[in-house]
Amino acid sequence: MRLRVESDARTTGDVNRKFYQMQDMSMFRQTFPRAALVAAAFAVAAGPLQANPYETTLANGMKIIVKEDRRAPSVVHMVWYGVGAMDEPAGVSGIAHLLEHMMFKGTDKVGPGEFNKRVAAVGGRDNAFTSHDYTAYFQQIPSARLADVMQLEADRMSNLKITDANFKPELDVVKEERRLRTDDQPRSLVSEQLMATAFQANPYGRPIIGWMTDLDTMTAEDARKWHKTWYTPNNARLVVVGDVDHKSVFDMARKHYGAIKARPLPPRRITTEPEQLGPRETVVKAPAELPYLALAWRAPTLRDPENDRDVHALKVLAAILDGYDGARLPRRLVRENQVAVSAGAGYDGTGRGPQLFVMDGSPAAGKTVADVEAALRAEIERIQKEGVAEDELRRVKTQTVAGQVYKRDSLMGQAMEIGFLEATGLSWRDDDKLLEGIRKVTAEDVQAVARKYFTDNTLTRARLDPLPLPADAKPRATAPGARH
Amino acid sequence: MQTKPMTAFFRPNFRPFRTLLALAALLGPLASPNAAAGPDIKHWNAATGARVYFVESHALPLIDIQISFPAGSAYEPDGATGVASLTRSLLDAGTEGLNEQEIAERIADTGARIGGGADTDMATLSVRTLSSAAERDAAIALAARLLAKPTFPADILERERARAIAGLKESLTQPDTLASRRFMAMIYGSHPYGRSVTVESLQAITRDQLQAFHRTHYTAGSAAVTIVGDVSRDEADAIARQLTEDLPAGTAPAPIAAPQLPARSSEHIAHPSAQAHILMGMPGMSRDDPDYFPLLVGNYVLGGGGFVSRLTREVREKRGFAYSVSSYFMPLRVAGPFEIGLQTRGSQAEEALKVINGVLDDFVAKGPTPAELKAARDNMVNGFGLRLDSNRKILDYVGMIAFYQLPLDWLETYPKKVAAVTVESVRDAFARRVKAEHLVTVVAGGDGDNGTGSAAPAAKKAGHGK
């Protein structure tokens, strides 16, 4: 549940193009001055779909949420497990994600690779993803084939087969994934180090993909144990969105998932991050051209959508800084003062774990990361002193209202939103409260959070110091015969 | 398997589909089991001469619009590489009566999302807006002004030039960029598809060039306006007219010549990364290619079908060599690239190359098995509805039909054409079109991998490199 924040859309180079591709906050604003926007939002929110989504819970504890959207004969089927990288003990970082990979390796009934083949045969596609908070699996298929994928998904919840033989190559795949996405990506290394520096006790400090040194020691038994411990119906939520009747989906779920026995989950011993007592800093040296800086302040996590007003105000603050092309950071740092070639701000606020409010940027030619830091801080100070304008506030809310309509075009987007809320300790029913929370944010609220949270004692500063490439990075011909 | 959304704070990097699946979705399988399944596309010419393609849908109170022009990088004058993308990206830098900041605020005030960009063949401007009259009219009026009356302010050109150069320099430190630039240059030689921007080409661009490129290529006569959503046909016609009425009528640009095929060659680019980025291929097929369907269906089997492709099975599933491996044909106005790509730790790059060469040679020699062909056709036919289940997806496909002027029944006839593909037609098409004597291979990076245990951190590797 984040404001969509896109900035720097104008640059022609790939690197500066930065997308905070966040989910739209869902809401409408009753007292919104633009009457038509309100009408549009109401038309969608208060139509015949009033009762949508529908929810039930199976006897084994598995929660089922169905949203009917009958525009096309298509359906998204997702299972969200309430386990993610933050549940990993030290020494086996990455096991949640690695198990996600192993889930495609087959069962007694379904051979290796067969899961993907069956989904493809009905015209569908499937994949999965892991975060600190959850692990989720999805298929998008013609709605007539929903029972097929439900059967497959239920089968691997209880009957997954992990052998030493199928584990080893998949571990290698995950190491390649780590090399691709982290080790060879200087900015990913910076964000990994930033998290590790900001969170020294809480598991959010460990990378989701795992430290390479932990992957080196991972065994098939670690994966089997993970599956056995956490992959239970009482730790799973089913989300179905598309051209379906909710009652028949409930029946189908009872048949396929209802037969699986619940197992008690172990206690979760997650360390709360202790109070930070002073500013922290981390530096990554890696081959790159542009220096880069990120400033991260500890920030609150949404727990009570009705009363956690600071969270809503911080979201609005992030959007006022970087929520649209003309927002403060792209306007002042990139366009007017030309201190930075890119600058941004982001805050999520939703998750099982602790949150950060991050500002970041890369200096323009002739400027330094110190200049960027001063300029980013100056924007916070300006809001601390002068507050924000009513038209900025209105603009951010307008975009949020429109986003409420736009997001209904995508089945996957709707399923993601439900699953994400549920997996982060909230409920899909909180949608309206989140809406209302943003609706109530005032200019004074934004100024108050700008004054409250941006203190050096809770700051972590992460920097990329570019290393030059060796001079021999020029193409050289190799014998084409080497091809064979 | 497959992805890890780095739900990280500031760069969520959320990719529910890994690269090869995204490509498969973009390029490919689209088939209809029955004639009624495609969207009902209405087509006419607006009074301005612009071609209009319209799909009416009142299920949601929103409208998606895409205006496209033959104004991609392939149409740049010689020596002016970067003009197409800079022209497109400066459309919202200033327009008659509105400066950059006012434009940005006005877009935000309407709640609309205005996007688009320039690629090889086309430049686009897309608008997603609420269908309520006030918001819709404001968004469309603004989009029309951006398209017709950009002022290309000199100071903003300088600023964006500097940012583009900074971005380019940054990307030139990354092995994937080094590999793909070199690959395109090698397979296309001096053909426009082989060009990449350079610091020098960006430095040479003038404001006059941007204005001239805009005047010549953003014309009503060459515009295709695709509209999907909550409007009537008459309203759609008015929208298309409004979006193009202040553009010059224009003349059609000179056609792009077909590329020459390259001689077989291989290159290695040194880089201290852990992984080697491997690309192999040659010019492939055009949008209206007579071999389009055999190549498309065949490629699904070879490397386009995501987890079920041969390349994924051999490279990833059996050997654990790569997180992502795929092959694709990118159909363009003339033959776009056919490309096999993967990333693997440097120490096993040679072995991975042998595997993909073996898979490709075998596939070209024998074609798919009957079971593989059936699986490919099943996916394409049965998945038809899924590829068209939202306004945005319909816009993407109809926008493609509109730009390339494909037959209006292109979606409808898809299943028949997929069904007509045989083992023999795939084998025949690949044998004629993917020839060993034209294959180009580029390997960039991997020099930082010592081949034992974990790769050393990039920092150390680069330090040693100095």
pLDDT in tens, A115-159: 999 999 999 999 999 999 999 999 999 999 999 999 999 999 999
Identify which of B40, B38, B22, B41 has the alpha carbon closest to the alpha carbon of residue B415.
B38
Per-residue model confidence (pLDDT) at position B403: 98
Q: Which residues of A258-284 are buried (b: 16+ CB within 10 A; e: fewer)?
A: bebeebeeeeeeeeebeebeeebebeb
- Residue B290 pLDDT grade (very low, low, confident, very high; cuts 50, 70, 90): very high
By the 8 A CB rule, do B251 and B49 touch? no
Which helix (H) or strand (E) is A66 found in, with range?
strand A63-68
Give the residue-averaged pLDDT of B172-200.
97
User: Is B335 or A482 the better-scoring residue by pLDDT?
Assistant: B335
Closest partner residue to A127 (CB to CB) among B17, B165, B357 is B17
b/e map B41-76, b = 16+ CB within 10 Å? beeeebebebbbbbbbbeebbbbbbbbbbbbbbbbb
pLDDT tens for A366-393 read: 999 999 999 999 999 999 999 999 999 9
The residues, any chain, with a CB within 8 Å of residue A301's CB and separated by 6 or more, are A311, A349, A350, A351, A353, A354, A355
Distance CA A357, CA A301 (A): 11
Confidence tier at A473 by pLDDT (50, 70, 90): low
Per-residue model confidence as pLDDT tens digits over A436-451: 899 899 999 999 999 9
Indicate if the alpha-carbon torsion angle A403, A409, A412, A415 is positive or negative.
Answer: positive
Instruction: Count how many Cα atoms sit within 13 Å of the Cα of residue A26 in the half-sphere of its side chain.
Output: 22
In this structure, what token pair is assigned to residue B178?
Answer: 């080094």
Confidence at B157, pLDDT banded by 50, 70, 90 = very high
- Give B-chain residues touching A9 at CB under 8 angstroms: 89, 115
Asked if pLDDT for residue B66 goes beyond 70, the answer is yes
Q: End-to-end alpha-carbon separation of chain B, Å?
A: 37
- Catalytic-labelled residue, pool A6, A88, A100, A417: A100
Query: Contact B213/B76 with Cβ under 8 angstroms?
Result: yes
What are the distances in angstroms from CA A446 to CA A33, A287, B60, B398?
A: 20, 39, 33, 43
Q: Residue B37 has what pLDDT?
A: 60
A-chain residues near B321 (CB < 8 A): 172, 176
CB contacts of A476 in chain B (<8 Å) are 267-270
Q: 3-state DSSP call for residue A125?
A: strand
pLDDT confidence bin for B221, thresholds 50/70/90: very high
Give residue A33's pLDDT.
31
B-chain residues near A72 (CB < 8 A): 385, 388-390
Total number of residues shown for chain A: 484
Per the annotation, the verdict on A444 as an active-site residue is no
CB A220 within 8 A of CB A229: no
CB distance B307 to B313 below 8 Å: no
- DSSP class of residue A468 equals P
pLDDT number for residue A17: 25
Rounded to a whole number, what is the distance in Å from the CA of A128 to chain B's nearest CA?
6
Interface probe, candidates B2, B3, B9, chain A, greatest A C-beta count within 10 A:
B9
Q: Is the pLDDT of residue B239 over 60?
A: yes
Residue B376 confidence (pLDDT) above 50 = yes
Alpha helices in B5-82 (DSSP H): 19-27
Of A236, A241, A298, nearest to A66 by C-alpha is A241
Residues in chain A within 8 Å Cβ distance of B436: 483
Strand, helix or coil for residue B70: coil
The CA distances from residue A134 to A84, B323, B348, in Å, are 4, 21, 33
Inter-helix orientation angle B410-419/B370-382, to 10°: 160
* Phi–psi pair at A293, nearest 5 degrees: -135, 140
Which uninterrupted H or E stretch holds A196? helix A186-198
CB distance B11–A187 less than 8 Å?
A: yes
In the Cβ-directed half-sphere of B226, how many Cα atoms lie within 13 Å? Answer: 26
| B421 band by pLDDT with thresholds 50, 70 and 90 | very high
Contact B178, B269 (CB under 8 A): yes
Residue B453: pLDDT band by 50, 70, 90 thresholds?
low
List, in order, residues 6 or more apart from B353 with CB less than 8 Å away. A482, A483, B278, B280, B441, B443
Taking residues B106-123, what's their average pLDDT?
96
pLDDT at A18 over 50: no
State how far residue B358 is from chain A, nearest Cα, in angstroms.
Answer: 8
Q: Compute the C-alpha angle A170/A176/A178, nearest 5°.
A: 110
For residues B187-197, average pLDDT = 97
Return the half-sphere exposure (C-beta side, CA atoms, 13 A cut-off) of residue A243: 15
What average pLDDT score do residues B181-185 get? 98
Range from A3-7, A227-231, B348-352 carrying the lowest mean pLDDT: A3-7
Give, rounded to a whole angstrom, the gap between the first and last alpha carbons of chain A: 51
What distance in Å separates the CA atoms of residue B305 and residue B315, rounded to the nearest whole number? 14
Residue A1 — very low, low, confident or very high, per pLDDT cuts 50/70/90? very low
Name residues 370-389 of chain B within 8 A of A (Cβ): 375, 378-386, 388-389
Q: Which two tokens stand for residue A438?
A: 């943003």
Burial class (CB in 10 A: 0-12, 13-18, 19+), A336: exposed
On whether any CB of chain A is under 8 Å from the CB of B6, the answer is: yes
User: Is the model more confident about B13 or about B306?
Assistant: B306
CA distance A337 to B159: 11
Q: What is the mean pLDDT of residues B313-342?
A: 97
Strands B51-56 and B224-229, how do they pair? parallel
- Would the pLDDT of B188 be above 80? yes
Task: Give the containing element (helix H, strand E) for A401.
Answer: helix A390-406
Average pLDDT, chain B: 89
For A27, A316, A412, A415, B330, the CA distances from A435, given in Å and listed in that order, are 4, 12, 21, 18, 42
Q: Helices in A69-132 by DSSP H: which ranges?
A: 95-102, 114-121
Average pLDDT, integer, range B16-35: 34
Inform me whether the C-beta atom of residue B466 falls under 8 Å from chain A C-beta atoms.
yes
Question: If phi over 0 gives left and psi between -120 and 50 gives alpha, with beta otherwise, what is residue B164?
Answer: alpha
Please state the three-class secondary structure of B347-391 as a single string.
HHHHHHHHHHHHHHHHHHHHCCCHHHHHHHHHHHHHCCHHHHCCH
Percentage of chain B beyond pLDDT 90 is 85
Measured between alpha carbons, how far is B158 from B141 in angstroms, rounded to an integer?
28
What residue in B sits closest to A35 (Cα-Cα)? B134
- What is the Cα–Cα distance from B273 to B268, expressed in whole angstroms? 13
Tell if the CB–CB gap between A12 and B82 is shorter than 8 Å: yes
Cα gap B105→B243, rounded to integer Å = 20
pLDDT of residue A470: 77
- Predicted local confidence at residue B84, as pLDDT: 98
Structure tokens at B190: 């001096």
The sign of the dihedral angle between the CA atoms of A21, A95, A210, B461 is negative
Average pLDDT over residues B108-137: 96
Cα A147 from Cα A249, distance rounded (Å): 9
pLDDT bucket at B194, cuts 50 / 70 / 90:
very high
Predicted ipTM of the assembly: 0.89
Residue B11: per-residue pLDDT: 26
Mean pLDDT of chain A: 88
Q: B248 φ, ψ to 5°?
A: -65, 150
Helix, strand, coil percentages for chain A (3-state, nearest 5): 45, 20, 35
pLDDT, residue A400, reads: 87
Tell me the two tokens of residue B167: 């971005």
Residue A347 in contact with residue B8, Cβ under 8 Å?
Answer: no
Interface test with chain B among A273, A406, A420, by most B beta carbons within 10 Å:
A406
Phi-psi region of A367 (alpha: psi -120 to 50; beta: other; left: phi over 0): beta
Contact yes or no for A319/A27 (Cβ under 8 A): no
Write out the two tokens for A452. Answer: 């409250």
Task: State yes or no: pLDDT of A6 exceeds 50.
Answer: no
Q: Does B22 touch chain A (CB under 8 A)?
A: no
Q: What is the pLDDT of residues A392-428, one digit of tens each?
A: 999 999 988 888 899 999 999 999 999 999 999 999 9
CB A156 within 8 A of CB A103: yes
Question: How long a stretch of residues is chain B?
Answer: 466
Confidence band, pLDDT 50/70/90 cuts, at residue A481: very low
pTM comes to: 0.90
- Asked if B217 and B69 touch (Cβ cutoff 8 Å), the reply is yes
